[in-house]
Amino acid sequence: MDMLTIFFRSAFIYIIVLFLYRLMGKRQIGEMQPFELVLTQIIADLATIPMSEISVPVLHGVVPVLCLVLLHFFLTFLSSKSTKFAKFFNGKPIIVINPNGIDNVALKNLDMSIDDVFEALREAGFFSVEQVQYAIMETNGKLSVLPKSDFAPLTASDMKIENEESQIPVTLICEGKIMKENLSVLDVSREDVLDFLKKRKIKSVKNVLLLTIDRSGQVFLQKYKQKYETFKLTEGEIYDKIKLD
């Protein structure tokens, strides 16, 4: 009987914690502010107590977790309203490399060593301090690097090349299923998609692993167990229906 109780308690607490995390946002651990990280760790600890201890009421786990979430909402609200408050709780970004080189004082304030900076630089794709104009330690612990112009990657604008604006591909079929909610994005109907497949000699939607189309008319089509193909839509098929830019 104990096992069954533990099973239901675990499921119940899991759902509550999942709901609360969704409510707090979608940040990954690496993107969390200090108080968010602390909150996550405490909630994880608190949630496990009533899961395994049957004598402890579920409410003894839920009440402190809800209390922390409430405080989180409150702190987030205050942080959004007051810059000073946000700086106090989250800290502020600190420049660790400037045009003069490494700022030793800033590193000491951050309790960081030169090795830590080099590691962060390498993660950012830079292997020498010479390549860096500015490096800023963000409040979430990540290093943002502005390279010197000599070492910055060449872009199309540097070469004065005119490019088409990038478009977001819209998924119309995923794993053999038509994405109904995406059809309206391209102003096409289910019949249009089926017609498109028919012209491509694909018998069923179930044969398609992935079909995406963007507003420029670029298609990505991959059938199950086959290599993908990409092409531009030709006039006459679904092309006429899509709101092309």
**Contact call for residues 36 and 140 (beta carbons, < 8 A):** no
**Closer of 44 and 71 to another protein (Cβ):** 71
**Closer of 25 and 176 to another protein (Cβ):** 25
Local structure of 54: helix, strand or coil: coil
Smallest distance from the beta carbon of 140 to another protein, in angstroms?
Answer: 22
Site string for another protein, 9-38 (x = CB under 8 A): --------------x---------------
Smallest distance from the beta carbon of 180 to another protein, in angstroms?
Answer: 22
Torsions phi, psi for 159 (to 5 deg): -90, 0
**Closer of 59 and 95 to another protein (Cβ):** 59
56 touching another protein, by CB under 8 A: yes
Site string for another protein, 198-227 (x = CB under 8 A): ------------------------------
* C-alpha to C-alpha distance for 234 and 93, rounded to whole angstroms: 50
**Closer of 44 and 67 to another protein (Cβ):** 67
Give the burial string for 203-216 (b: 16+ CB within 10 Å, else e). eebeebebbbbbbe
* C-alpha to C-alpha distance for 61 and 146, rounded to whole angstroms: 46
- Stretch in the footprint of another protein (CB under 8 A) among 2-10, 53-61, 90-98, 191-199: 53-61
- Stretch in the footprint of another protein (CB under 8 A) among 28-36, 38-46, 49-57, 118-126: 49-57
* C-alpha to C-alpha distance for 98 and 135, rounded to whole angstroms: 7
Residue 21 burial (CB count, 10 A): 15
Q: What are the start-end ranges of the E strands in the chain? A: 94-98, 101-102, 132-137, 143-147, 170-174, 177-178, 208-213, 218-223, 229-232
Edge to edge, what strands does the sheet with 132-137 contain? 101-102, 94-98, 132-137, 143-147
**Closer of 73 and 127 to another protein (Cβ):** 73
> How far is the CA of 244 from the CAs of 115, 124, 233, in angstroms?
51, 37, 11
Residue choice 11, 44, 54, 114 for contact with another protein (CB under 8 A): 54
| 59-88 binders of another protein (CB under 8 A) | 59-60, 63, 66-67, 69-70, 73
Number of residues this chain uses to bind another protein (CB under 8 A):
13
**Closer of 67 and 95 to another protein (Cβ):** 67
- Stretch in the footprint of another protein (CB under 8 A) among 54-62, 110-118, 125-133, 159-167: 54-62
Residues lying near another protein in the complex (CB under 8 A) are found at 23, 54-57, 59-60, 63, 66-67, 69-70, 73
